[in-house]
Structure 1
Protein backbone atom coordinates (compact mmCIF):
# COMPACT_ATOMS: atom_id res chain seq x y z
CA UNK A 1 0.00 0.00 0.00
CA UNK A 2 1.35 3.41 -1.02
CA UNK A 3 0.73 6.65 0.85
CA UNK A 4 0.02 8.54 -2.38
CA UNK A 5 -3.15 6.48 -2.86
CA UNK A 6 -4.82 8.78 -0.35
CA UNK A 7 -4.36 11.58 -2.91
CA UNK A 8 -6.37 9.67 -5.52
CA UNK A 9 -10.09 10.39 -5.75
CA UNK A 10 -12.23 7.50 -4.61
CA UNK A 11 -9.64 5.67 -2.51
CA UNK A 12 -10.91 6.73 0.91
CA UNK A 13 -14.52 6.12 -0.14
CA UNK A 14 -13.57 2.63 -1.33
CA UNK A 15 -11.86 1.88 2.02
CA UNK A 16 -14.84 3.12 4.03
CA UNK A 17 -17.32 1.18 1.91
CA UNK A 18 -15.28 -2.04 2.04
CA UNK A 19 -14.82 -1.73 5.82
CA UNK A 20 -18.52 -1.14 6.49
CA UNK A 21 -19.87 -3.68 3.99
CA UNK A 22 -17.54 -6.52 4.95
CA UNK A 23 -19.63 -9.76 4.84
CA UNK A 24 -17.50 -11.55 7.45
CA UNK A 25 -19.40 -13.05 10.40
CA UNK A 26 -17.17 -14.20 13.25
CA UNK A 27 -17.69 -14.32 17.02
CA UNK A 28 -14.01 -14.18 17.92
CA UNK A 29 -12.92 -10.50 17.73
CA UNK A 30 -9.34 -11.33 16.71
CA UNK A 31 -10.43 -13.64 13.89
CA UNK A 32 -13.05 -11.10 12.84
CA UNK A 33 -10.36 -8.42 12.54
CA UNK A 34 -8.04 -10.74 10.60
CA UNK A 35 -10.74 -11.75 8.10
CA UNK A 36 -11.86 -8.15 7.76
CA UNK A 37 -8.31 -7.03 6.97
CA UNK A 38 -8.01 -9.80 4.37
CA UNK A 39 -11.25 -8.67 2.78
CA UNK A 40 -10.01 -5.08 2.75
CA UNK A 41 -6.73 -6.19 1.18
CA UNK A 42 -8.66 -7.98 -1.56
CA UNK A 43 -10.73 -4.84 -2.24
CA UNK A 44 -7.58 -2.71 -2.45
CA UNK A 45 -6.04 -5.14 -4.95
CA UNK A 46 -9.15 -5.03 -7.14
CA UNK A 47 -9.22 -1.22 -6.93
CA UNK A 48 -5.53 -0.99 -7.82
CA UNK A 49 -6.01 -3.37 -10.75
CA UNK A 50 -8.72 -1.13 -12.18
CA UNK A 51 -6.54 1.92 -11.56
CA UNK A 52 -3.61 0.34 -13.41
CA UNK A 53 -5.88 -0.38 -16.38
CA UNK A 54 -6.99 3.27 -16.33
CA UNK A 55 -3.33 4.36 -16.60
CA UNK A 56 -3.31 2.91 -20.13
CA UNK A 57 -5.94 5.48 -21.08
CA UNK A 58 -3.32 8.23 -20.98
CA UNK A 59 -2.29 7.52 -24.59
CA UNK A 60 -5.94 7.57 -25.63
CA UNK A 61 -6.36 10.94 -23.89
CA UNK A 62 -3.41 12.37 -25.81
CA UNK A 63 -4.78 11.04 -29.10
CA UNK A 64 -8.19 12.58 -28.40
CA UNK A 65 -6.50 15.87 -27.48
CA UNK A 66 -4.59 15.93 -30.77
CA UNK A 67 -7.79 15.21 -32.70
CA UNK A 68 -9.56 18.08 -30.94
CA UNK A 69 -6.60 20.36 -31.63
CA UNK A 70 -6.89 19.65 -35.36
CA UNK A 71 -10.61 20.47 -35.28
CA UNK A 72 -9.97 23.71 -33.34
CA UNK A 73 -7.15 24.75 -35.71
CA UNK A 74 -9.55 24.38 -38.63
CA UNK A 75 -11.94 26.80 -36.94
CA UNK A 76 -14.70 24.26 -36.36
CA UNK A 77 -14.66 24.48 -32.56
CA UNK A 78 -17.90 24.43 -30.60
CA UNK A 79 -18.62 24.84 -26.90
CA UNK A 80 -18.89 21.06 -26.50
CA UNK A 81 -15.50 20.52 -28.15
CA UNK A 82 -13.83 23.16 -25.97
CA UNK A 83 -15.41 21.71 -22.84
CA UNK A 84 -14.28 18.21 -23.82
CA UNK A 85 -10.75 19.53 -24.43
CA UNK A 86 -10.66 21.03 -20.91
CA UNK A 87 -11.82 17.72 -19.42
CA UNK A 88 -9.15 15.75 -21.31
CA UNK A 89 -6.39 18.15 -20.21
CA UNK A 90 -7.60 17.79 -16.63
CA UNK A 91 -7.50 13.97 -16.90
CA UNK A 92 -3.96 14.07 -18.35
CA UNK A 93 -2.73 16.37 -15.57
CA UNK A 94 -4.31 14.12 -12.94
CA UNK A 95 -2.60 11.08 -14.47
CA UNK A 96 0.76 12.90 -14.45
CA UNK A 97 0.27 13.88 -10.81
CA UNK A 98 -0.41 10.27 -9.80
CA UNK A 99 2.60 9.04 -11.78
CA UNK A 100 4.86 11.59 -10.08
CA UNK A 101 3.59 10.63 -6.62
CA UNK A 102 4.10 6.95 -7.42
CA UNK A 103 7.65 7.54 -8.68
CA UNK A 104 8.53 9.61 -5.59
CA UNK A 105 7.28 6.96 -3.17
CA UNK A 106 9.00 4.14 -5.06
CA UNK A 107 12.25 6.12 -4.89
CA UNK A 108 11.84 6.47 -1.10
CA UNK A 109 11.21 2.73 -0.77
CA UNK A 110 14.26 1.95 -2.90
CA UNK A 111 16.35 4.28 -0.74
CA UNK A 112 15.12 2.58 2.44
CA UNK A 113 15.89 -0.89 1.05
CA UNK A 114 19.30 -0.13 -0.43
CA UNK A 115 20.38 2.05 2.48
CA UNK A 116 24.09 2.83 2.48
CA UNK A 117 24.50 1.57 -1.07
CA UNK A 118 23.20 4.93 -2.24
CA UNK A 119 26.08 6.74 -0.53
CA UNK A 120 28.27 5.82 -3.52
CA UNK A 121 26.54 8.58 -5.49
CA UNK A 122 27.31 11.19 -2.81
CA UNK A 123 30.89 10.01 -2.43
CA UNK A 124 31.38 10.53 -6.15
CA UNK A 125 30.01 14.08 -5.86
CA UNK A 126 32.24 14.85 -2.87
CA UNK A 127 35.33 13.47 -4.61
CA UNK A 128 34.54 15.56 -7.68
CA UNK A 129 34.16 18.69 -5.54
CA UNK A 130 37.39 17.87 -3.72
CA UNK A 131 39.24 17.56 -7.02
CA UNK A 132 37.79 20.84 -8.26
CA UNK A 133 38.65 22.75 -5.09
CA UNK A 134 42.00 21.06 -4.50
CA UNK A 135 45.21 23.04 -5.11
CA UNK A 136 47.41 21.01 -7.43
CA UNK A 137 50.35 23.39 -7.59
CA UNK A 138 51.84 26.80 -6.74
CA UNK A 139 53.98 29.34 -8.55
CA UNK A 140 57.24 30.13 -6.75
CA UNK A 141 59.94 32.41 -8.17
CA UNK A 142 58.45 32.02 -11.65
CA UNK A 143 58.47 28.20 -11.47
CA UNK A 144 55.40 25.98 -11.27
CA UNK A 145 55.62 23.43 -8.46
CA UNK A 146 53.23 20.46 -8.40
CA UNK A 147 54.99 18.19 -5.92
CA UNK A 148 52.39 17.68 -3.12
CA UNK A 149 55.01 17.74 -0.34
CA UNK A 150 56.64 20.93 -1.63
CA UNK A 151 53.23 22.57 -2.19
CA UNK A 152 52.23 21.73 1.38
CA UNK A 153 55.48 23.19 2.76
CA UNK A 154 55.02 26.36 0.70
CA UNK A 155 51.54 26.86 2.16
CA UNK A 156 52.82 26.19 5.66
CA UNK A 157 55.63 28.71 5.27
CA UNK A 158 53.35 31.32 3.71
CA UNK A 159 50.68 31.20 6.41
CA UNK A 160 53.20 30.78 9.23
CA UNK A 161 54.79 34.05 8.14
CA UNK A 162 51.47 35.83 7.85
CA UNK A 163 50.07 34.69 11.17
CA UNK A 164 53.18 34.65 13.30
CA UNK A 165 53.20 36.23 16.77
CA UNK A 166 53.72 40.00 16.76
CA UNK A 167 57.05 41.31 18.01
CA UNK A 168 57.29 41.61 21.78
CA UNK A 169 59.36 44.83 21.59
CA UNK A 170 57.11 47.62 20.44
CA UNK A 171 58.31 51.01 19.22
CA UNK A 172 58.35 53.76 21.85
CA UNK A 173 57.44 57.32 20.99
CA UNK A 174 59.37 60.17 22.64
CA UNK A 175 56.93 62.86 21.58
CA UNK A 176 55.60 65.04 24.39
CA UNK A 177 51.82 65.31 24.41
CA UNK A 178 50.35 68.48 25.93
CA UNK A 179 47.35 66.69 27.43
CA UNK A 180 48.34 63.80 29.65
CA UNK A 181 46.61 61.91 32.44
CA UNK A 182 47.77 62.02 36.00
CA UNK A 183 50.04 59.38 37.49
CA UNK A 184 47.16 58.11 39.63
CA UNK A 185 44.93 57.54 36.58
CA UNK A 186 47.83 55.90 34.77
CA UNK A 187 48.34 53.44 37.61
CA UNK A 188 44.59 52.70 37.67
CA UNK A 189 44.56 51.93 33.95
CA UNK A 190 47.68 49.77 34.04
CA UNK A 191 46.79 48.01 37.29
CA UNK A 192 44.80 44.81 37.73
CA UNK A 193 41.01 44.97 37.83
CA UNK A 194 39.53 44.04 41.18
CA UNK A 195 36.48 41.82 41.69
CA UNK A 196 34.53 44.76 43.14
CA UNK A 197 35.14 46.79 39.97
CA UNK A 198 33.85 43.93 37.83
CA UNK A 199 30.67 43.72 39.91
CA UNK A 200 30.08 47.44 39.44
Structure 2
Protein backbone atom coordinates (compact mmCIF):
# COMPACT_ATOMS: atom_id res chain seq x y z
CA UNK A 1 0.00 0.00 0.00
CA UNK A 2 1.36 3.39 -0.99
CA UNK A 3 0.68 6.72 0.66
CA UNK A 4 0.00 6.56 4.38
CA UNK A 5 0.98 3.45 6.33
CA UNK A 6 -2.14 3.64 8.52
CA UNK A 7 -5.69 4.39 7.42
CA UNK A 8 -7.33 5.31 10.75
CA UNK A 9 -6.40 7.98 13.28
CA UNK A 10 -8.28 7.82 16.58
CA UNK A 11 -9.05 11.37 17.79
CA UNK A 12 -9.78 10.45 21.44
CA UNK A 13 -6.43 8.81 22.06
CA UNK A 14 -3.61 9.27 19.55
CA UNK A 15 -3.67 5.81 18.02
CA UNK A 16 -3.02 4.74 14.44
CA UNK A 17 -4.54 1.61 12.89
CA UNK A 18 -4.76 -0.02 9.48
CA UNK A 19 -8.50 -0.65 9.31
CA UNK A 20 -9.49 0.07 5.72
CA UNK A 21 -8.58 -2.58 3.17
CA UNK A 22 -9.75 -4.18 -0.06
CA UNK A 23 -10.98 -7.74 -0.37
CA UNK A 24 -9.95 -9.15 -3.75
CA UNK A 25 -10.33 -12.53 -5.38
CA UNK A 26 -7.35 -14.33 -6.92
CA UNK A 27 -8.98 -14.09 -10.36
CA UNK A 28 -9.03 -10.28 -10.06
CA UNK A 29 -5.33 -10.23 -9.15
CA UNK A 30 -4.53 -12.59 -12.04
CA UNK A 31 -6.47 -10.43 -14.48
CA UNK A 32 -5.03 -7.11 -13.23
CA UNK A 33 -1.54 -7.90 -11.88
CA UNK A 34 -0.40 -4.26 -11.84
CA UNK A 35 -3.06 -3.16 -9.35
CA UNK A 36 -1.91 -0.85 -6.56
CA UNK A 37 -3.51 0.49 -3.38
CA UNK A 38 -2.83 4.01 -2.13
CA UNK A 39 -4.00 5.59 1.12
CA UNK A 40 -4.77 9.22 0.29
CA UNK A 41 -4.36 12.04 2.83
CA UNK A 42 -7.14 12.32 5.42
CA UNK A 43 -8.64 15.78 5.59
CA UNK A 44 -11.89 16.02 7.55
CA UNK A 45 -12.44 12.38 8.40
CA UNK A 46 -10.47 10.19 10.76
CA UNK A 47 -10.17 7.59 7.95
CA UNK A 48 -7.95 7.90 4.91
CA UNK A 49 -9.67 7.35 1.57
CA UNK A 50 -8.14 4.25 -0.01
CA UNK A 51 -7.71 4.18 -3.78
CA UNK A 52 -7.51 0.94 -5.76
CA UNK A 53 -5.89 1.65 -9.11
CA UNK A 54 -5.31 -0.72 -11.99
CA UNK A 55 -2.98 0.14 -14.83
CA UNK A 56 -4.80 -2.01 -17.35
CA UNK A 57 -4.31 -1.33 -21.02
CA UNK A 58 -7.69 -0.55 -22.54
CA UNK A 59 -6.30 -0.24 -26.06
CA UNK A 60 -6.01 2.74 -28.33
CA UNK A 61 -7.99 5.90 -27.75
CA UNK A 62 -10.92 6.18 -30.16
CA UNK A 63 -10.52 8.24 -33.31
CA UNK A 64 -12.60 11.41 -33.31
CA UNK A 65 -13.32 13.48 -36.37
CA UNK A 66 -14.18 17.09 -35.58
CA UNK A 67 -16.58 19.08 -37.72
CA UNK A 68 -14.17 22.02 -37.94
CA UNK A 69 -11.68 19.82 -39.82
CA UNK A 70 -14.17 19.48 -42.66
CA UNK A 71 -14.24 23.27 -43.09
CA UNK A 72 -10.53 23.40 -43.88
CA UNK A 73 -9.43 23.54 -47.49
CA UNK A 74 -6.91 20.70 -47.20
CA UNK A 75 -9.37 18.22 -45.70
CA UNK A 76 -11.23 17.50 -48.94
CA UNK A 77 -7.94 17.02 -50.79
CA UNK A 78 -6.63 14.63 -48.12
CA UNK A 79 -9.82 12.56 -48.13
CA UNK A 80 -10.17 12.37 -51.92
CA UNK A 81 -6.48 11.51 -52.35
CA UNK A 82 -6.57 8.83 -49.63
CA UNK A 83 -9.81 7.37 -50.96
CA UNK A 84 -8.59 7.12 -54.56
CA UNK A 85 -5.02 6.00 -53.81
CA UNK A 86 -5.95 3.04 -51.57
CA UNK A 87 -5.06 -0.36 -53.02
CA UNK A 88 -6.53 -3.40 -51.32
CA UNK A 89 -8.06 -6.80 -51.90
CA UNK A 90 -10.34 -9.31 -50.23
CA UNK A 91 -14.00 -9.59 -49.40
CA UNK A 92 -16.00 -6.37 -49.87
CA UNK A 93 -16.59 -5.85 -46.14
CA UNK A 94 -12.93 -6.33 -45.19
CA UNK A 95 -11.89 -4.18 -48.18
CA UNK A 96 -14.14 -1.35 -46.96
CA UNK A 97 -12.85 -1.71 -43.38
CA UNK A 98 -9.24 -1.56 -44.60
CA UNK A 99 -10.01 1.45 -46.79
CA UNK A 100 -11.63 3.32 -43.88
CA UNK A 101 -8.68 2.46 -41.65
CA UNK A 102 -6.30 3.82 -44.30
CA UNK A 103 -8.39 6.99 -44.54
CA UNK A 104 -8.33 7.38 -40.75
CA UNK A 105 -4.54 7.05 -40.68
CA UNK A 106 -4.16 9.64 -43.44
CA UNK A 107 -6.38 12.10 -41.55
CA UNK A 108 -4.40 11.48 -38.35
CA UNK A 109 -1.13 12.04 -40.21
CA UNK A 110 -2.51 15.28 -41.68
CA UNK A 111 -3.63 16.54 -38.24
CA UNK A 112 -0.30 15.56 -36.65
CA UNK A 113 1.44 17.73 -39.24
CA UNK A 114 -1.17 20.50 -39.53
CA UNK A 115 -2.00 21.16 -35.86
CA UNK A 116 1.53 22.22 -34.72
CA UNK A 117 1.76 24.45 -37.80
CA UNK A 118 -1.58 26.00 -36.89
CA UNK A 119 -0.45 26.71 -33.32
CA UNK A 120 2.80 28.23 -34.59
CA UNK A 121 0.88 30.35 -37.13
CA UNK A 122 -1.46 31.62 -34.40
CA UNK A 123 1.49 32.55 -32.19
CA UNK A 124 3.25 34.29 -35.08
CA UNK A 125 0.12 36.25 -36.00
CA UNK A 126 -0.42 37.39 -32.41
CA UNK A 127 3.19 38.55 -32.16
CA UNK A 128 2.82 40.42 -35.46
CA UNK A 129 -0.39 42.13 -34.30
CA UNK A 130 1.32 43.06 -31.02
CA UNK A 131 4.24 44.55 -32.97
CA UNK A 132 1.79 46.60 -35.08
CA UNK A 133 0.06 47.83 -31.93
CA UNK A 134 3.35 48.90 -30.37
CA UNK A 135 4.32 50.66 -33.58
CA UNK A 136 0.94 52.42 -33.72
CA UNK A 137 1.56 53.85 -30.25
CA UNK A 138 4.63 55.75 -31.48
CA UNK A 139 3.53 56.69 -35.01
CA UNK A 140 0.67 56.33 -37.46
CA UNK A 141 0.54 53.10 -39.49
CA UNK A 142 0.39 53.28 -43.27
CA UNK A 143 -2.38 51.63 -45.32
CA UNK A 144 -0.35 48.52 -46.13
CA UNK A 145 0.37 47.78 -42.45
CA UNK A 146 -3.23 48.52 -41.47
CA UNK A 147 -4.54 46.05 -44.06
CA UNK A 148 -1.96 43.44 -42.96
CA UNK A 149 -3.04 43.96 -39.34
CA UNK A 150 -6.71 43.57 -40.33
CA UNK A 151 -5.97 40.37 -42.30
CA UNK A 152 -4.02 39.02 -39.32
CA UNK A 153 -6.93 39.72 -36.97
CA UNK A 154 -9.33 37.93 -39.31
CA UNK A 155 -7.01 34.91 -39.53
CA UNK A 156 -6.66 34.82 -35.72
CA UNK A 157 -10.44 34.96 -35.34
CA UNK A 158 -10.86 32.11 -37.83
CA UNK A 159 -8.28 29.86 -36.12
CA UNK A 160 -9.75 30.56 -32.68
CA UNK A 161 -13.30 29.97 -33.95
CA UNK A 162 -12.29 26.54 -35.25
CA UNK A 163 -10.59 25.73 -31.93
CA UNK A 164 -13.76 26.85 -30.12
CA UNK A 165 -15.85 24.62 -32.39
CA UNK A 166 -13.61 21.68 -31.43
CA UNK A 167 -14.07 22.49 -27.73
CA UNK A 168 -17.84 22.68 -28.16
CA UNK A 169 -17.90 19.32 -29.89
CA UNK A 170 -15.68 17.78 -27.18
CA UNK A 171 -18.06 19.17 -24.54
CA UNK A 172 -21.06 17.63 -26.33
CA UNK A 173 -19.25 14.28 -26.51
CA UNK A 174 -18.46 14.47 -22.79
CA UNK A 175 -22.07 15.39 -22.07
CA UNK A 176 -23.34 12.36 -24.01
CA UNK A 177 -20.84 10.03 -22.34
CA UNK A 178 -21.23 11.33 -18.78
CA UNK A 179 -24.94 11.96 -19.00
CA UNK A 180 -27.02 14.70 -17.51
CA UNK A 181 -25.75 14.46 -13.93
CA UNK A 182 -26.42 18.04 -12.88
CA UNK A 183 -30.04 18.39 -14.05
CA UNK A 184 -31.52 17.94 -10.59
CA UNK A 185 -29.12 20.46 -9.10
CA UNK A 186 -29.68 22.94 -11.92
CA UNK A 187 -33.48 22.78 -11.71
CA UNK A 188 -33.36 23.05 -7.91
CA UNK A 189 -31.13 26.10 -8.20
CA UNK A 190 -33.45 27.72 -10.77
CA UNK A 191 -36.54 26.98 -8.66
CA UNK A 192 -34.82 28.56 -5.64
CA UNK A 193 -34.07 31.68 -7.68
CA UNK A 194 -37.72 31.89 -8.77
Structure 2: gaps spanning 5 or more residues: 1-64
Q: Whose Rg is larger?
A: 1
SS in 1 for 2:180: helix
Q: CA deviation at 1:48?
A: 1.3
| Alignment-derived partner of residue 11 in structure 1 | 75
Q: CA deviation at 1:50?
A: 2.2
Contact kept in structure 1, 2:125 and 2:156, CA below 8 Å? yes
SS in 2 for 1:38: helix
- Between the aligned partners of 1:130 and 1:27, the Cα distance in structure 2 is 61
Q: CA deviation at 1:76?
A: 5.7
Aligned pair count?
A: 129
Report the CA distance shift for 1:124/1:27 in structure 2 as closer, same or farther (over 3 A): closer
RMSD: 2.2
| Alignment-derived partner of residue 33 in structure 1 | 96
Structure 1: gaps spanning 5 or more residues: 134-200
| Alignment-derived partner of residue 127 in structure 1 | 188
SS in 1 for 2:179: helix
Contact kept in structure 1, 2:88 and 2:98, CA below 8 Å? no
Residue 62 in 1 paired to residue 126 in 2? yes
Residue 97 in 1 paired to residue 158 in 2? no
Q: TM-score, normalised by structure 1?
A: 0.56
- Between the aligned partners of 1:41 and 1:93, the Cα distance in structure 2 is 28
SS in 2 for 1:77: coil
